[in-house]
Amino acid sequence: MSDLTKAFRELASPYWKSDDKWKAIGLLVVIVAINLGMVYIQVLVNVWIREFYDILQNLDKAKFLHQVLRFCVLAGSYVGMAVYMLYLTQMLQIRWRKWLTDKYLKGWLANQAYYRINLDGASTDNPDQRISEDLNLFTELTIDLGTNLLNKVAMLVSFLGILWVLSGTLTIPLGPHSAIKFPGYMVWASLFYSILGTWLTLRVGKPLILLNFNQQRFEADFRFSMVRVRENSESIALYGGENQEEVHLRNRFNILMDNFWRIMRRQKRLSWLTNSYNQAAVIFPLLMAAPAFFAGQMHLGGLMQTVGAFGAVQGALSYLINSYTTIAKWKAVIDRLLGFTRTMERMESSESLRGIKRIHSSEKAIIANSLNVSLPNGKVLVRDLDLNIAPGAHLLITGPSGCGKSTLIRSLAGIWPYCHGTESLPGSSSIMFLPQKPYLPLGTLRNALCYPHSNGYRTEELEKVLEKCGLGHLGAFLEKDENWSQVLSPGEQQRLAFARVLLIRPDFIFLDEATASIDETSEAVLYELLKSNLPQSAVTSVGHRGTLRAWHSERLTFEGDANWVRAALEKDKGIHAGC
């Protein structure tokens, strides 16, 4: 319990110390006041019950109508409070969720944590679910459990004294001259009944915490697998891989279903217990109060008030029993969010995941010194590489597949964590990296073309660069909102990436097989565009095609075993290193 409290405070306290705290505290104060007001109405209704049933017993028709009107006032007041209770708790929840979402999005997107988490095999699964679903559940369940707990505590405090007085004293004779007296005996009966039910609930329901934790993970895995099918629908269709995908999806769903069956069986046991407990609680106070009623010590109204007060006390003491399934779900949400938080903190603080040391200098070139690049398993791909990329330079990086060419580009971009060395960057220069598969964000074609910059370009500029890159037919669709990664072919997507380069005009351009989906003639056109439109920009390309040699003046070749050779393309011999 102490670990749960500590974890909850770690997740919850930042919001209540934030700039939004006073609005949140104000909402919370009003919610608490309404909650207490609803309890007060229930106390008045409990008193009304006694008077109403006494009137029925006395056949007093005149007072009957008065009590009906009084009940309407009490019920109307309660309904109004309940409506605003729901409205204000939802308002607090959405404000809290927004603040947490902003916080987690910032942490997830900062320092490429979203990318590095995918490289870390022991990392949190499905971070998108943590942000979109678990934060919502955390705020919703926390407020729900908290307000319900406050209500039960207030009910217990309010009705405990009422039940004590109404119970009177139970006398159990032990002989002709001795007896045991139990003042407020129904309070003690309620306490014993609730303790027994709580103990049984904990014994039966404890496994639900882990089962709910796993269920959320399995649901997210199944959903993610279906998203992958949608995103790669064309490739799957061309391969004819429908049967394989169906088998994979069914396997994912079967894992989900097996765990759900475990939850069902456990909840069935818990449901047997809680429903039996609640049904027995209906008759239990009547059985306890019946002797006094039949002895003439209690009127019908007093009996019904006692039953109502007992139900209020017993319901308050049974908070854990009735809320256990929700608490188990809440605990699972906290565990998942805390694990995600720890992973992001580790991504931020781990020295081993910081990657290359990047510094800004007054130099006009990109200079890498003593660069060593490895795989996550420790295998060295590049050893002791010194690299100088001056303005206007054209460098071609070649080598067999898997030798580390693309990984070197990731290292120079500062996103690959398994490397060390230093990289000096020109302070005022802009750098742009083009991967083999360009990223096209959801939205309009204009936004996709300008990405990652905001839309600050004139329509004429956009149409011009599209025309240059062989995409003039798309100029009429700049404002059209589509999933452009599905609409455009791989070759068109790579052309669009070159159009971005011409639009943004970076000083240093890194192309990682950026023309692999384009024919050689079109490739030559695009490289000629870079040469003629951006003559002062340095171009570094990764590729296998021999046609790329014509557009570069120097080549860096990886030979395997972390060795490399740098040479001018017009010369036969070069500088050997890395041994």
Quickly state the pLDDT bin for 350 (edges 50, 70, 90). low
Instruction: Assign 392 to helix, strand or coil.
Output: coil
Q: How far apart are the first and last CA of the chain?
A: 57
Instruction: Assign 519 to helix, strand or coil.
Output: coil
Find all residues with CB under 8 Å of 362, minimum gap 6, and list them.
426, 427
Q: How far is CA 548 from the centre of its chain?
A: 44
Helix axes 242-294, 208-231, angle to 10 degrees: 150
Distances (CA, A) of 398 to 320, 369, 377: 65, 20, 23
d(CA 397, CA 510): 10
d(CA 208, CA 331): 10
Strands 508-512 and 431-434, how do they pair? Answer: parallel
Specify the pLDDT at position 80.
95
Would the CATH topology of 2-352 be identical to that of 357-577?
no
Find all residues with CB under 8 Å of 50, minimum gap 6, and list them.
301, 302, 304, 305
Specify the pLDDT at position 234.
65
Residue 572 has pLDDT above 50, yes or no: no
pLDDT in tens, 154-195: 999 998 888 888 877 766 667 676 767 777 778 888 888 888
Specify the pLDDT at position 579.
31
Helix axes 135-167, 185-205, angle to 10 degrees: 150
pLDDT in tens, 18-45: 999 999 999 999 999 999 999 999 999 9
CATH number of this structure's domain 2-352: 1.20.1560.10
Query: Looking at domain 357-577, which of 1.20.1440.230, 1.10.1040.10, 3.40.50.300, 3.90.1580.10 is its CATH number?
Result: 3.40.50.300
d(CA 364, CA 424): 9
The DSSP symbol for 551 reads G
Which pTM value belongs to this model?
Answer: 0.75
* Pick from 307, 300, 303, 256: nearest CA to 281: 307
Q: What are phi and psi of 55, to 5 degrees?
A: -65, -40
CA dihedral 462, 468, 473, 475 (to 10 degrees): 10
Distances (CA, A) of 50 to 36, 46, 302: 22, 7, 5
- Give the chain's count of helices (H) and strands (E): 18, 15
What string of DSSP letters covers 79-115?
HHHHHHHHHHHHHHHHHHHHHHHHHHHHHHHGGGHHH
Residue 555 has pLDDT above 80, yes or no: yes
d(CA 320, CA 149): 9
Domain ranges of the chain: 2-352, 357-577
d(CA 490, CA 512): 14
Query: What mean pLDDT value characterizes the chain?
Result: 87
Of 570 and 542, the one with more pLDDT: 542
63-77, 135-149, 214-228: least confident range: 214-228
* Pick from 166, 268, 162: nearest CA to 208: 268
pLDDT in tens, 263-312: 999 989 888 988 888 788 778 788 877 777 787 777 888 888 888 888 88
Quickly state the pLDDT bin for 354 (edges 50, 70, 90). low
Q: What are phi and psi of 506, to 5 degrees?
A: -75, 160
Instruction: Assign 391 to helix, strand or coil.
Output: coil
Residue 400 has pLDDT above 60, yes or no: yes
* Pick from 517, 523, 448: nearest CA to 489: 517
